[in-house]
Amino acid sequence: MKKTVLTGIRPTGNLHIGHYFGASRSWVEVQDHYDCYFEIADVQALTDNFDNPEKVKKNVYELTIDLLSIGIDPNKATIFLQSAIPEIAELTVYYSNLVTMARLYRNPTVKTEIAQKKRLFGNEGESVTYGFVGYPVSQAADITAFGGEIIPVGEDQLPLIEQCREIVRKFNSIYGEVLIEPQALLGKYPRIKGLDGNDKMGKSLGNAIYLCDSPAIIHDKVMSAITDPNKIRKDDPANPDICMVYYYHKLFSGDEVDTVCAECKNGTRGCVACKKQLIDNICKYLEPIREKREYYLNHMDEVQKILEEGSKKAREKAQMTLKNVKKAMKIDFFNE
């Protein structure tokens, strides 16, 4: 029996290279070896975007296309929509008794997000909703509904996986061994920095390269990337370790990296030429992805069908879990 891999992603924007190298590239690798479930977490996206449902809906399709374009194969893996599985919402209600408010507020990911909200909106009481504070519980339902054993995620998600493990242990200790305790699987590159050198790449920071960016956009973005500020003239020697162009060369430029590093250090490489080489390599790398994206954009009926069939298959598994959960909790009155 293959082990079950489950992971989710919020449909709030297109995938950028930070998502790709940090997490979603490894999803493509695992689909050959495991029984894989990839969730488009639209209900979770609504916790932060409940007042902007159009945005979430649009991004459900954008993200599904991104996932198909990087090589997630619906014949190998199940891509499904969180909102199409009401069993997740039901499990969330049952699990909510197993978590204290104090524990939710202590979750480092939740804590960071609350601090961000405070910075943006001021008063915590007015911006932090019940649904938001509870999303780790809902995420535990995402994972356990499908018997997820291995959860490939970025580093920032570790506290949520830990919280899920605690819920599983608590459930099993009270009601009996029903749920599977999941394990996080970290990607090779835990976090990819932004074009400006910021530790995080993101839409709100304006420092991301998207998988769907055109060559012209990639050109402009790389040209604006931060390099060693002490390198004034073309033939000044420089320190590649503080240069974002070198940082991305390491991701995209294969064997060329050693030359890039050596020439940068000894001053035989100008930044403009170095950036152009990187632009070419990024464009080459992303071209097959962009081509597949074009195909799916012109075949939206296929995209719709993949989501619908994936959700149907995923739901069958969630229904089984829910049945076992209700039986264990002694709320299985009518044998449905």
Question: How far is 80 from 307, CA to CA, in rounded Å?
Answer: 5
**Residue 34 three-state SS:** coil
CB of 276 to ligand TRP, least distance (A): 34
Of 139 and 277, which has the nearer Cβ to ligand TRP? 139
CB of 157 to ligand TRP, least distance (A): 6
CB of 143 to ligand TRP, least distance (A): 5
Of 160 and 212, which has the nearer Cβ to ligand TRP? 160
Of 29 and 287, which has the nearer Cβ to ligand TRP? 29
Question: Looking at beta carbons, which residue is closest to ligand TRP?
Answer: 8
In a 10 Å sphere around its CB, with 0-12 CB exposed, 13-18 middle and 19+ buried, how is residue 229 labelled?
A: exposed
Instruction: Give the CA angle between residues 63, 198, 196 to the nearest 5°.
Output: 90
Of 44 and 281, which has the nearer Cβ to ligand TRP? 44
Q: DSSP alpha helices (H): ranges in the chain?
A: 17-19, 25-30, 42-49, 53-70, 86-95, 101-106, 108-121, 124-127, 130-133, 135-145, 158-175, 215-223, 244-252, 257-266, 271-297, 300-328
Question: How far is 317 from 278, CA to CA, in rounded Å?
Answer: 45
Task: Please give the residue ranges that form the binding site for ligand TRP (CB under 6 A).
Answer: 6-10, 39, 41, 44, 139, 142-143, 151, 153, 157, 160
CB of 118 to ligand TRP, least distance (A): 19
Question: How far is 100 from 42, CA to CA, in rounded Å?
Answer: 25
Of 157 and 281, which has the nearer Cβ to ligand TRP? 157
Question: How far is 245 from 317, CA to CA, in rounded Å?
Answer: 45
Smallest CA-to-CA distance from 155 within 103, 197, 118, 192 is with: 192
Smallest CA-to-CA distance from 4 within 167, 195, 148, 169 is with: 148
Q: Which two tokens stand for residue 57?
A: 């809906």
Of 5 and 271, which has the nearer Cβ to ligand TRP? 5
Of 143 and 278, which has the nearer Cβ to ligand TRP? 143
Would you say 157 and 111 are in contact if contact means Cβ atoms under 8 Å apart?
Answer: no
CB of 255 to ligand TRP, least distance (A): 33
CB of 154 to ligand TRP, least distance (A): 7
CB of 152 to ligand TRP, least distance (A): 8
CB of 71 to ligand TRP, least distance (A): 19
Question: How far is 251 from 271, CA to CA, in rounded Å?
Answer: 18
Of 8 and 240, which has the nearer Cβ to ligand TRP? 8
